[in-house]
Amino acid sequence: IPFAPDLTSAGLEFGLLYFFAIGGLGVVGLMMAGWSSFNKYSLLGGIRAAAQAISYEIPLTLSVVGIIILTGTLSLPKIVEAQSGSLLDWFIFRQPLAAIIFFIAITAEANRTPFDNTEADQEIVAGFATEYSGMRFGFFFFAEYVNVFIVSALFSALFLGGSNAPINLPFNPEINVNLGSLGVMLPILAGLAPVAGTLLFAAPIYMVSSKIKGWQALLGGFLIFGALSTAAIGFWAWAMLPPIADLLFFLLKTFTLIFIFVWMRGTLPRARIDQLMGFAWKWLLPASLLNLFATAAAVLLTS
């Protein structure tokens, strides 16, 4: 996954194909976990996990074929680079149907609400994890949330421009500051700056009203100083360290998607297993094929 142009562990030319090949192996672990528990609820959970993963991997894969047609590559860094022009170059605007299909499919692949039928408490207790406890149970859930981060990062790279900023900033300052020249004064200033900044902003808050207590003024001053410091550090990182600025943009998009997953968990009800499977085969699969043929026809006509 290209976190930034210079922060990619392995820029494989077939990186997208590698993701789908390796990502499809996860269902084997869930199936084996349910089967080896000698529990009917665990076995049902494993079977549901296998059926759900197989059903949604087909539209998941087909939804990105349009991007492959437009970019002519399977390399994730090159796909991100193809979206570096402007906001309208992001594939969420050029391939909106594919983005919707991909998001729904990764929600099902990650077992998030409303597609968490593999762990439906009212039907099969905890699904494939019914007989597991302690660290074994913890590893299953750790893997699930790692999967949520990975699919969110992949969506950011494919449809949200990856590490590209949404707008081209009108200026690019060059600030040459050698912090090492400060020597021993650097840690002293780093310790005194929060104290001085908090007192500086707390004083006017305390003097505005007699009802404001001292600790409340100090807390407000600290929050204001923290917000301004964060903005200043972000500006400095953007000006002097482009890879860090790119990484911040990428992580902002990724964690926004993770927030959406958490928000959906507390908002949407769980779908029935027949509704879930029917939605994949009757709606997502035809929609992904329609998007594929429409993209291919558009490229053929415009070329």
**Domain shared by 119 and 213, yes or no:** no
Q: How far apart are CA 145 and CA 214, in angstroms?
A: 41
Q: Is residue 250 part of a domain?
A: yes
Closest CA to 129 of 109, 262, 139, 105: 139
Q: Is residue 293 part of a domain?
A: yes
Residue 200: domain span: 179-238
**Domain shared by 125 and 265, yes or no:** yes
- Burial of 133 (C-beta count, 10 Å sphere; 0-12/13-18/19+): exposed
Closest CA to 95 of 151, 158, 150, 17: 158
pTM of the model: 0.74
Token pair in block for residue 165: 């900023």
Q: How far apart are CA 120 and CA 11, in angstroms?
A: 38
Q: Is residue 65 part of a domain?
A: yes
Q: Among 210, 238, 266, which residue terminates a domain?
A: 238
| Residue-level pLDDT at 183 | 61
What ranges make up the beta strands (E) of the chain? none
**Domain shared by 265 and 196, yes or no:** no
| Residue-level pLDDT at 126 | 64
**Domain shared by 116 and 256, yes or no:** yes
Residues of the chain with pLDDT under 50: 171
- In the chain, % helix, strand, coil (3-state, to 5) comes to 75, 0, 25
| Residue-level pLDDT at 47 | 78
Q: How far apart are CA 49 and CA 13, in angstroms?
A: 30
Q: Is residue 9 part of a domain?
A: no
Angstrom distances, CA of residue 82 to CA of 93, 108, 121: 13, 28, 44
- Confirm if 198 and 218 have CB atoms less than 8 A apart: yes
**Domain shared by 248 and 232, yes or no:** no
**Domain shared by 266 and 142, yes or no:** yes
**Domain shared by 104 and 135, yes or no:** yes
Q: Give 163-227 as a DSSP string.
A: T--SS--S--------GGGGTTHHHHHHHHHHHHHHHHHHHHHHHH-TTS-HHHHHHHHHHHHHH
| Residue-level pLDDT at 94 | 92
**Domain shared by 121 and 253, yes or no:** yes
**What's the domain count of the chain?**
2
Question: Packing angle between helix 15-23 and helix 40-63, nearest 10 degrees?
Answer: 160
